[in-house]
Amino acid sequence: MENGYMNKWLKINLSTKEISDFNFPEEILRKFIGGKGIATHFLWNYALKLEKKGINIKDMDALSPENVLVFATGPITGTRSPNSGRHHVMALKSPLTGSIGSGNSGGKWGAKLKFAGYDGIVVAGKANLPTYLTIVNGNAELHDAQEIWGMNSLDTSNWLKEKHELKRAGISCIGPAGENLVPMAVIMNEVHRAVGRTGLGAVMGSKYFKAILVEGDAKPKIAKQADFDDKVKEHVEKLKENGVTGEGLPTYGTAVLVNIINQNGLLPTKNWQTGVNENAELISGETLTDKYLINKHPCWGCVVACGRKSKVEEGPYKLAYTEGPEYESIWALGGSTNINDMGAVVRANHYCDLYGIDPISVGSSIAAAMELNEKGFIPKEDLQGMEVDFGNADAVVELTWMAAFRQGLGYWIGEGSKKMCQHYGAPDLSMEVKGLEMPAYDPRGAKGIGLNYATANRGGCHVTGYTIAAEILGDVDRFTTEGKAELTKIFQDFTSIVNSSVNCLFLTFALGLDEYAEMIGPVTGWDVDTDELLKTGERITNLERMIINKLGFSGKDDTLPKRLLEEKMPEGPSEGQTVDLETMKQEYYELRGWHDGVPSLEKLEELGLTR
C-alpha cells in the first residue's frame, strides 16, 4: 500500500518469546495518525484488557511485566520530508511519575525501523535473561544479551554493530541506569540521542530488555509522489529562509536559549529560588560554540542540524568527543545547580548519554539536593564527605554517575526530586509536576508555560505545549494570564500532531498546521485539512488524558509547586511575579470540555472516543 506506512507492526511477548505481526485498520490510523497518537490508542485498549483481567492499573507496578512499551513511528517518518528520522516511545505507566510514560527521540532509529519493514513495536512481558531484538529486512529475532548487560550505550552500540556486521544500523538501548531500574533512566539511540523523559529506560530494564537493532532497505511508499515532492521542496526552502531554523539553531544549537531566557529573568537558578543566573554567559550557546563545539550534527534527514559534536580541550573534565549538550541539559546540570563551568556540564551530560539517565531530571534533582543541604535537611552521614553545594561543579559531575549506579546520595537523586524531598522531610523543595521535574523556564516569567506544565499529561514538561515560542520568542505578553488557556490548548494539540507524524518539533518554528496538512495529505493519500488535524490532535490529548485519569490523576494533580504559586520571584525582570494558575486552569478546562481534569462525555462523543 502506498500510504507512507510500512503497514506492519511487531508484537513481542518477552515472557513467552512469542513474536507476531499485526496492523491497525486504516480508520484507526486516520483517527490517530501514528507515533504518539497510535501508541496512545494502543495503550488505551491495553489498559481496558488489563482491567478485564482484574488488574487495577492504578496500583500496577510500572516495573512489573504487565507494563508495556510501544515504539512508534508515523507516516512521515523516514520519508524525504525534512527532519523525519525521529520516533516516539510510550509505556502505560512511568516508574518516575505513575502517570503515562512518553518520550520522543531524534537520531535515525525511527527512519531505520521503517527501512527494516515496521511502523512500530510493542514489547510486553518480561524475559528471564537479558535479551535484545534485531529486525533486519523484515526479519525479527530475539537474542541473548548477557554479554552486553552492564555495558554503557557506546559499548553496546559498537558491540551490536560489530556482532551483526551492520555498521550503519540504528540502535536503541539502555545503559546501566536502565538496568539498575533508576526511575529516571532513558532509552538511548545513536549513543547520544535519548527518549529522555519519564523513565522509559527503567521499564526496558525491568523487562531484561537491553536493545533493539534495526536495519533494512525497504522505503515507505508515498501515495501522491509528485505533490509530495513539490511540498518537500517548498518546506525545505521555508526552513532555510527562517531565521530560527535557517540560522539560529544550526549555528548555536538549542543552547542559544540560555542567554535570552536569563535576560528575561526566568532561567531557574538554585533550584528555582531565582530566575536570574549570574553565570549564564559562561554556560551559554555562544560559549559552547566558541570553546567546545567540534561541528554540528543533524539527525537523519534533518536540514536544520541543531545537534552538536563537542569536546572539552583541557581541565579536569577533558573529553575528546561527545555530543550535545542541549539547552535543557545545560540548564538542569549547570543553571539550576548554579555552576559556571561549561566543561563540567559537558562531562556530566556525557555521563547521562553513556549511562542512560535523563539530564533534566538528574540535574534538577541534584539542584534539589543542594537546596536540601543548604537548608540542613540532609544528615551529614548521607553526604559521605561530599560538598553538595550550589556552584560545586565536581559534585554535579559525580552525582550524575552516582545516580545512574545508585551510589550514595545518588540513590535518592536517581529516585527523582519528589521522592527525595519527601524522604528528607521537605516536599515543597521538589520542583516537579506529577513527579516529573520541570524544565528550564520559570513560569513566573511566562504564565502560559506554567499552565502547560500543570496540565501536560506526562507531567512537568515543556515540549507538550511550548508556549515559550509565543511568550518569549514571539509577541505574546508573557506576564498576562489572559488568552493563555487557548494558547496552551492549541500548542498541546498541534504538538500531538507533530509527535504522531512523527517528525521534529523544531520544524514548527517555520512550518505551521497548514504545512502539516500539506505533508500528511500527499503521503497518506487522505484529503486532510487543518481542522481535521487539530481535531485529531485534540483527540490524542484527550485519550491520553483518559489513560492518566485511570492511573489516578485528575484536577488536583494539574498543579505547580508551591514555590511558583506563592513565592514571588525575588529579583530581575520578572520580579514580584507568581503564577495565578487557578484562573488559567478553569478557563482551560472550559475550553477543553473537562470537569476537574476529566474529559466530559460530550467531549468524548464529539471526538469519537466513546464506543
Q: Taking CB within 5 to 8 Å according to partner kind, which of another protein, ligand SF4, none is near residue 532?
A: none
C-alpha 182/C-alpha 406 separation (Å) is 8
Interface with ligand SF4 by CB under 6 A: which range of 178-186, 219-227, 303-311, 538-546?
303-311
Kindly give the pairing relationship between strand 69-72 and strand 18-22.
unpaired
Q: Which of residues 71-110 bind ligand SF4 (CB under 6 A)?
A: 83, 106
C-alpha 217/C-alpha 288 separation (Å) is 37
State the residue for C-alpha cell 542559544.
256
Query: If binding is defined by CB under 8 A, does position 569 make contact with another protein?
Result: no
> Toward ligand SF4, which CB reaches closer, 323 or 538?
323
Q: Which of residues 491-510 bind another protein (CB under 8 A)?
A: 505-506, 509
Interface with ligand SF4 by CB under 6 A: which range of 16-24, 37-45, 153-161, 302-310?
302-310
CB of 84 to another protein, least distance (A): 18
Question: Which of 55, 305, 383, 604: binder of ligand SF4 (CB under 6 A)?
Answer: 305
Interface with ligand SF4 by CB under 6 A: which range of 137-145, 296-304, 317-325, 468-476?
296-304
Residue type, 21: D
> Toward another protein, which CB reaches closer, 329 or 417?
329
C-alpha 116/C-alpha 22 separation (Å) is 15
* 3-state SS assignment for residue 135: strand
Query: If binding is defined by CB under 8 A, does position 265 make contact with another protein?
Result: yes
Q: Taking CB within 5 to 8 Å according to partner kind, which of ligand SF4, another protein, none is near residue 512?
A: none
Residues 87, 103: contact at Cβ < 8 Å? no
Q: What angle do CA 482, 488, 489 make, to 5 degrees?
A: 115
Torsion angle in degrees (nearest 10) through CA of 190, 343, 472, 35: 10
CB of 391 to another protein, least distance (A): 16
Q: Taking CB within 5 to 8 Å according to partner kind, which of ligand SF4, another protein, none is near residue 304?
A: ligand SF4
> Toward ligand SF4, which CB reaches closer, 192 or 539?
192
CB neighbours of 23 closer than 8 A, spacing ≥ 6?
Answer: 7, 8, 9, 119
Q: Which of residues 410-469 bind another protein (CB under 8 A)?
A: 462-463, 466, 468-469
CB of 190 to ligand SF4, least distance (A): 10
C-alpha 279/C-alpha 265 separation (Å) is 13
How many Å from the N-terminal Cα to the C-terminal Cα in the chain? 29
Query: If binding is defined by CB under 6 A, does position 159 make contact with ligand SF4?
Result: no
State the residue for C-alpha cell 499529561.
457
Give me the half-sphere count of Cα atoms (radius 13 Å) on the Cβ side of residue 408: 20
Where does residue 321 rank: exposed (0-12), middle (13-18), buried (19+ CB within 10 A)? exposed
C-alpha 59/C-alpha 98 separation (Å) is 9
Query: If binding is defined by CB under 6 A, does position 307 make contact with ligand SF4?
Result: yes
Q: Using CB under 6 A as the criterion, which residues of the chain lie in contact with ligand SF4 when the complex forms?
A: 83, 106, 298-299, 302, 304-307, 504, 506
Q: Using CB under 8 A as the criterion, which residues of the chain lie in contact with another protein when the complex forms?
A: 242-245, 247-249, 251-257, 259-260, 262-265, 280-282, 284-286, 306, 326-328, 462-463, 466, 468-469, 473, 475, 478, 505-506, 509, 572-574
